[in-house]
Structure 1
Amino acid sequence: MKSVLKLIRPHQYLKNGFVFLGPLFAHHWDLVTLSSAIIAFFSFCCIASSVYVLNDIVDVDADRAHPVKRARPLPSGGVSIAFAKGLLVALILVATSLALTVGAWAACFVLVYFLINVLYSLRLKHVVILDVFIISSGFMLRILTGTVGLGIAPSSWLLLCGLMVTLFLGFGKRRAELLMLESCGGDRALTRKVLDDYSPQMLEQFIAVTAACTIMAYGLYTVSPQTISLHGSDNLVYTVPLVVYGMFRYLFLLHRQSKGNDTAKDLVQDSHLLITVLAWVSTTLWILA
C-alpha cells in the first residue's frame, strides 16, 4: 500500500486546488457550485494520479538511472508494471465518471488533460520550452474546469496570473533538476533528455521574466476597476506582499536549500512557504467575504 501511495502521489493533489479559484474569485459560493467544484477536484486527483502512473511506466528505464527517481515504486520493483497498468485504467474510469457528473465541459477538460499528458510522456517532454508550457496547460485546464466547467465565465486576469505563475514554477522545476544533477554528477541524457537543451543562464532568465510577469499581473488585477467593482473592495492589493514574499521564498529554497523538484512537497515541508500560502488564502477569503 505504501508503494501504491508513492506511485499515485496524493501529496500532489494540492495542485488541484486551482479548480477552486474560479468560484472563489467569481463569488460563486453557493452549495451547488461548491459541491460541483469538490467533485471536479477529486476527478482531477484521479486523472492526475493516472498521469503519474503513466509517466512512471514510460520512464521506468530512465528513472533507474536517476539519483532520486530510482527509489520510486516501479524502477525499484516495489510495484509491478502489470499492476500499474491496471491501476492506470481504473483511475481514468473513475476520473471520467466523476467529471461527467459535473458536466460535459468538465469531462472534456479532464480528458484533454489526460491526452495532453499522454503526448507529453511520449514526445513533448523532450521539446525544450514547450515541455514547460505543456505542464502549465494542465493548470490552465484545472482553472477552466473550475470556471467554464461550472458555468462561470473565466476572468482574463485569472487566466493570465495562472499562466504566469505556473510557467514560473515549471522553469523553476527545470532549474532544480539541473542543480540536482550538477551536485550529484548525474547524466542528463539518462534522466531527462530535454535538460541538454537548457542552460542555467537561460533558465534564470525565464524564471526572472515569469516571476516579474506574475507579480505585475497579480498587482494590476488587485487594483483593476473591474476587480474593485466585482468585489466591492479595493483591499485585495494588501495581499500582493504575500505573493511577492512567497515567490522570493521559493527562489531561496531553489538556490539555497536544493528544493524545487516537487513544489507540493516543498509547500508542505517549508513552514515559511506554508504559512505564507495559508495567510494569502485566509486574507483573500476575508476580503472577498
Structure 2
Amino acid sequence: MNNILRLIRPNQWLKNVFVFIPMFFGGSLLDPGDIRASLLTFFAFSFIASSVYCFNDINDVEADRRHPVKCKRPLASGAISIGKAWALMAIMLALSVGVTALLDSPDHMLKVGGILLFYYVMNICYCTKLKQYAIVDVCIIAFGFVLRVLAGSFATDIIPSKWLVLMTFLLTLFLSLAKRRDDVIRMNETGEPPRKNTIRYNLTFINQAITVTASVTLVCYIMYTVSPEVTQRLGSDMLYLTSVFVLLGLLRYMQITVVDKKSGDPTKTMLQDRFTQLVVIAWALTFLALIYIK
C-alpha cells in the first residue's frame, strides 16, 4: 500500500486547493452548495492528477533509474510493476470522472469535465514531449494551476477577477522557476542535468526570472486588492493590508531558494517550513476577517 501511495502521490493533492480560490476570494466560504461543489472539484482534480503521476513515472522509468533521487520511486525501484501502474492510472482516471458526475448540474459537469480533459491531455503531452523545452515546461505547470482556479469557478459560478487569474499564473510560475533552480544547482554539482532541458537554464537566468516573477506577482496582488470591482463585491477597501503577508511569503521562499537552496519541492516546503505556514495562516485570517467581520 505504501508503494501505491508513493505512486499516486496524495501528498501532492495540496496543489489542488487552488480550486477553492474562487469560493475563498468570492466571499462564499459559508455557502453549503459552493463548499460541496468545490470539494467535489478538488477530489476530481486530485484523482486525475494522480493518473498523470502514474503516466509520468511509466514514461520516465528508465531515466528515473539513473537519477540519484528518483531511482527510489516505486516503478524505478521495481517495487511496483509497469502493468500495475497502468491499472492504477486507469482507476484514478475513472474516479475523477465518477466524482465529476456528482456535480449538481449538467452544465457544471460539462464545464468542469472539459477543464479536466484539457488538463489531462496537456499533461500527457507535457510528460511525453513538452517538458523537454525550457520555459515552455514551467509555463505549462503554471497554466495547470490556472485551470484549477477556472474549474473551481465553473463549479461554483463565481467569476474570478482577472488580477486573480494572472496572480495564480505568476505565483506558480515563480514556484516552478525556483524548483528549476534546484535542478541547475544539482547539475552544477554533479555535471549531469537532472532533466534534458536543464542545460537551457543557468543560475543567472533563473535568479533574474525569479526576481521578475516575484515582483510582478506582488504588483498583481496589490492591483487585485485595490480593484474597484473587488472592493465593492467584498465590501472592504482595506484588503491591501494583506499585501504585507504576500510580500513576506515571497521573500521567505526566495530565502529558501537562494540561501538555503531547498526549493526542489514547493509542497514539501509548505508542509514543513513553519515561517511560511505562519505567514499563510496570518494572511488567510486577516483576509477572512476583512471580508466576513463587518
Normalised by the length of structure 2, the TM-score is 0.94
Please list, as runs of the form range in 1=range in 2, the aligned pairs for 1:257-276 lying within 5 A after superposition: 257-276=260-279
Q: Residue 250 of structure 1: CA displacement?
A: 0.8
**Residue identity matched to 2:32:** L
Match of 2:213 among 188, 210, 214: 210
Map of 2:132 onto structure 1: 126
Q: Residue 124 of structure 1: CA displacement?
A: 0.4
Map of 1:248 onto structure 2: 251
How many pairs align? 286
Match of 2:192 among 184, 187, 194: 187
Q: Residue 186 of structure 1: CA displacement?
A: 5.1
Q: Residue 236 of structure 1: CA displacement?
A: 1.3
Q: Residue 11 of structure 1: CA displacement?
A: 1.3
The answer to whether the Cα contact below 8 Å between 2:138 and 2:176 also exists between their aligned partners in 1 is: yes
Q: Residue 182 of structure 1: CA displacement?
A: 2.6
Once residues 262 and 75 of structure 2 are traced to their aligned partners in structure 1, the CA distance between those partners, rounded to angstroms, is 23
Once residues 262 and 47 of structure 1 are traced to their aligned partners in structure 2, the CA distance between those partners, rounded to angstroms, is 20
Map of 2:9 onto structure 1: 9
The answer to whether the Cα contact below 8 Å between 2:242 and 2:287 also exists between their aligned partners in 1 is: yes
Q: Residue 137 of structure 1: CA displacement?
A: 1.2
Once residues 109 and 53 of structure 1 are traced to their aligned partners in structure 2, the CA distance between those partners, rounded to angstroms, is 20
**Residue identity matched to 1:105:** K
Q: Residue 278 of structure 1: CA displacement?
A: 1.6
Map of 1:229 onto structure 2: 232
**Residue identity matched to 1:107:** G
Please list, as runs of the form range in 1=range in 2, the aligned pairs for 1:30-109 lying within 5 A after superposition: 30-102=31-103, 103-109=109-115
1:181-217, Cα deviation, whole Å (9 max, x unpaired): 333x1511xx310111112111112111110100011
Once residues 75 and 182 of structure 1 are traced to their aligned partners in structure 2, the CA distance between those partners, rounded to angstroms, is 24
Q: Residue 246 of structure 1: CA displacement?
A: 0.8
Are 2:142 and 1:136 aligned? yes
Match of 1:159 among 141, 165, 175: 165
Once residues 60 and 54 of structure 2 are traced to their aligned partners in structure 1, the CA distance between those partners, rounded to angstroms, is 10
Once residues 65 and 261 of structure 2 are traced to their aligned partners in structure 1, the CA distance between those partners, rounded to angstroms, is 21
Q: Secondary structure at the match of 1:177?
A: helix
Once residues 281 and 184 of structure 2 are traced to their aligned partners in structure 1, the CA distance between those partners, rounded to angstroms, is 30
Q: Residue 154 of structure 1: CA displacement?
A: 2.7
> Structure 1 92/236 Cα, relative in aligned 2: closer, same or farther at 3 Å?
same
Map of 1:110 onto structure 2: 116
Unaligned runs of 5+ in 1: none
Once residues 60 and 137 of structure 2 are traced to their aligned partners in structure 1, the CA distance between those partners, rounded to angstroms, is 15
**Residue identity matched to 1:199:** N
The answer to whether the Cα contact below 8 Å between 1:161 and 1:214 also exists between their aligned partners in 2 is: yes
The answer to whether the Cα contact below 8 Å between 2:161 and 2:224 also exists between their aligned partners in 1 is: no
Deviates more, 1:250-259 or 1:165-174: 250-259
The answer to whether the Cα contact below 8 Å between 1:99 and 1:110 also exists between their aligned partners in 2 is: no
Q: Residue 57 of structure 1: CA displacement?
A: 0.8
Once residues 79 and 111 of structure 2 are traced to their aligned partners in structure 1, the CA distance between those partners, rounded to angstroms, is 37
**Residue identity matched to 1:147:** S
Once residues 142 and 228 of structure 1 are traced to their aligned partners in structure 2, the CA distance between those partners, rounded to angstroms, is 24
Q: Residue 26 of structure 1: CA displacement?
A: 1.5
Deviates more, 1:215-224 or 1:145-154: 145-154
Normalised by the length of structure 1, the TM-score is 0.95
Unaligned runs of 5+ in 2: 104-108
Deviates more, 1:114-123 or 1:102-111: 102-111
> Structure 1 186/81 Cα, relative in aligned 2: closer, same or farther at 3 Å?
farther
